[in-house]
């Protein structure tokens, strides 16, 4: 499927944001970066990305960092069954972090996304 074909599907739903997940997107960073650039250029949708890598690991790989720079929210770290917690929102195990990527890149370290009880999050 081409980027334009995916964009038609993404643009058809005015309410949904976008999530990159399963089959770790960071193993195909160029393709996902191209799609993320198109999403930000053509919509006001936020992009969430789930990865088994940590934010710090992604900073050190130029290809993965290029994708990271297009992401709004990163849920990082591998799922660890022993740390599973059904009370967590947007993640499966307590080692995983929900990171505000633009702010983290600006500050030079992982900044956790503040989530309120209504599951709203301030991004752009």
Termini Cα distance of the chain:
29
The ranges assigned to domains in the chain are 3-107
Cα gap 27→21, rounded to integer Å: 11
Which ranges in the chain belong to alpha helices (H)? 3-12, 29-42, 55-59, 62-68, 101-107
Cβ atoms within 10 Å, residue 12: 8
Cα gap 55→53, rounded to integer Å: 7
Let me know: does 46 contact 77? Beta carbons within 8 Å.
no
pLDDT in tens, the chain (124 residues): 899 999 999 999 999 999 999 899 999 999 999 999 999 999 999 999 999 999 999 999 999 999 999 999 999 999 999 999 998 999 999 999 999 999 999 999 999 998 765 555 555 4
């Amino acid at each position: 499927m081409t980027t334009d074909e995916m964009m038609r599907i993404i643009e058809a739903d005015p309410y949904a944001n976008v999530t990159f997940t399963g089959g770790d997107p960071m193993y195909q960073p160029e393709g996902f970066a191209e799609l993320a650039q198109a999403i930000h250029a053509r919509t006001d949708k936020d992009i969430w990305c789930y990865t088994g890598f940590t934010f710090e690991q992604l900073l050190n790989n130029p290809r993965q960092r290029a994708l990271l720079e297009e992401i709004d929210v990163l849920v990082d770290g591998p799922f660890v069954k022993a740390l599973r917690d059904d009370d967590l929102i947007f993640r499966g195990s307590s080692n995983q972090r929900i990171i505000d990527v633009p702010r983290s890149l600006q500050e030079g370290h992982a900044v956790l996304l503040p989530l309120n009880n209504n599951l709203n999050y301030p991004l752009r």
